[in-house]
Amino acid sequence: MPEAYRKHLQRQISQHAHSEIIGMQPEGNWLLRAPSLRAKVVLLAKIQDEAGHGLYLYSAAETLGKSRTEYLNELRTGKAKYSSIFNYPTLTWADMGAVGWLVDGAAIVNQVSLQRTSYGPYARSMVKICKEESFHQRQGYEIITDMARGSEAQKEMAQDALNRFWWPSIMMFGPHDSDSPNTGNAVKWKIKRATNDELRQSFIDKTVHQAEIIGLTIPDPDLKWNEKRGHYDFGEMDWDEFWRVVKGGGPCSKQRLKHYNDAHNSGEWVRKAAKTYAEKQQLKQDVA
């Protein structure tokens, strides 16, 4: 395997894994405040899926000759990146709708395309993940629909969630193709099967209609159907904000990493106990 191809995959797959793991936090924030038992079990199942997705992806990344521990260390020390979207706070229950609808929706568009990525273990994990992810998007859309069709205050909350999550969601696809240093090789090597701008356009085209159906307004005055292109035209994203968040200046960047590290550290005794127990069992077997 060419070294540059391996390096690119190590980076991309582990970032993807880290995103799934950190992505549990904004949703975990609402677990104990879910408005009904049904909403709570659904959210719990979704968060468990995210953990599972992270683990599928770490498994795929490990086939590239780097251990799980090395990847986790890169996340813990802040050396590795994860999707910036998870550095935004989830302030209301409507945000759980916006996250599922928009963030998981954007992730699906990206991941469906990655099912045909050139590296087998990555492609196989994408197939598994896509199967599970569509439930996430639907549950999010259900939440935001209920809110948008609820009381005036709930509708306001839904619109506010859309206002806050729209731009960060469409920035999840990364910089424009012309400004994306990694896109060229990744497309050439068939790691990425579509460019950032192509995926973003596809997501916007699919999502606008879903917003219209539930009577919410996408917060972009430049958004307009372009008959000639057969796509929506849309406004420019705030790239200063994008790079600020990528570089660790997001509203929750510090909190997310700290929480991850706290959880890891407080589990230290469990890992130690499990290891000691396993060694003792082995010893018993060897003696017998």
Partner 1 sequence: MSNTDSQGPIWEVFIQSKPGLAHKHVGNLHAADKEMALQNARDLYTRRKEGTCIWVVPFDAIVSSTPEDDEAFFEPSNDKAYRTPTHYIMPEGAKHI
Residues making contact with partner 1 (CB under 8 A): 45, 48-49, 52, 55-56, 59, 62, 67-69, 72, 125, 128, 132, 268, 271-272, 274-275, 277-278, 281
Which two three-digit tokens encode residue 129? 């993940």
Closest CA to 61 of 4, 102, 7, 134: 7
Instruction: Find the shortest distance in angstroms from Cβ 46 to partner 1.
Output: 11
Under the phi-then-psi rule, with left for phi > 0, alpha for psi from -120 to 50, and beta for the rest, what region is 183? alpha
Instruction: Find the shortest distance in angstroms from Cβ 129 to partner 1.
Output: 12
Instruction: Find the shortest distance in angstroms from Cβ 1 to partner 1.
Output: 11
Name, in order, each residue with C-beta under 8 angstroms of 251's C-beta and a sequence gap of 6 or more. 87, 88, 89
Nearer to partner 1, 179 or 279 (CB): 279
Angle between helices 104-114 and 152-171 (to 10 degrees): 30
Nearer to partner 1, 4 or 45 (CB): 45
Per the document, the length of the chain is 288
Nearer to partner 1, 263 or 274 (CB): 274
Decide: 108 and 133 in contact? Cβ < 8 Å. yes
Decide: 218 and 162 in contact? Cβ < 8 Å. yes
Nearer to partner 1, 91 or 274 (CB): 274
Nearer to partner 1, 48 or 185 (CB): 48
Instruction: Find the shortest distance in angstroms from Cβ 140 to partner 1.
Output: 19
d(CA 178, CA 168): 19
Instruction: Find the shortest distance in angstroms from Cβ 126 to partner 1.
Output: 13
d(CA 176, CA 275): 47
